[in-house]
Amino acid sequence: MKKIIFAVAMSLCLLVGTNAFARMQGPRGPQGRVSIEQRANSKTERIQQQLGLSDEQASKVYVIQLEQMRQMQALRRQMQILRQAEAEQMKAILTPEQFETWRESQQRMGQGGRSGMQQGPSMRQSDSKAGKQEKSEPARNKKKRNNRPE
């Protein structure tokens, strides 16, 4: 009986906590996403605090951020169309099994962001000369990921 009461209490706490967190996130646009205007505004506020911008400077920065985000959104749409066209072309060439394997590999690369473009340990070890250099020298070419909230 105590276990049931405890489980119900924990579920209730989790539900209330999740709801409170969602409300703290503020209003969202369609599909639960923050609108471009809201993102541009929050980025402008961050820049204003970091650099101590005047209100006039902040309003100009907002316009720049908003336009940049609109352009990025248009580019994302174009990339999505290109990826769909690529998938259709690949599907026409590959067998169903090959296509499924290809699609899964594409999804894995997409999950890590830019991980598909970075050289992993297995790639470095395939070239014995490069592998020996890597062990003696620090990795200089590794890019750090930006932890940006978006």
pLDDT recorded at residue 3: 73
The per-residue pLDDT for range 65-95, each reduced to its tens digit, is 999 999 999 999 999 999 999 999 999 999 9
pLDDT recorded at residue 2: 74
Mean pLDDT of 115-137: 46
Angle at 66 between CA 60 and CA 72, to 5 degrees: 140
Mean pLDDT of 41-68: 96
Angle at 133 between CA 128 and CA 139, to 5 degrees: 120
pLDDT recorded at residue 109: 86
The per-residue pLDDT for range 1-12, each reduced to its tens digit, is 777 776 666 666
Q: How many CA atoms lie within 13 A of 102 on its CB side?
A: 15
pTM (2 decimals)?
A: 0.49
Neighbouring residues of 66: CB distance < 8 A, sequence distance ≥ 6: 36, 37, 40
Query: What is the separation, in whole angstroms, between the first and last Cα of the chain?
Result: 44
- Is 130 a residue whose pLDDT tops 50? no
- Is 101 a residue whose pLDDT tops 60? yes
Q: Give the position of tokens 């991980």.
A: 115
pLDDT recorded at residue 43: 96
- Is 122 a residue whose pLDDT tops 50? no
DSSP element (H, E) containing 14: helix 2-24
Percent of the chain at pLDDT above 70?
A: 56
pLDDT recorded at residue 32: 74
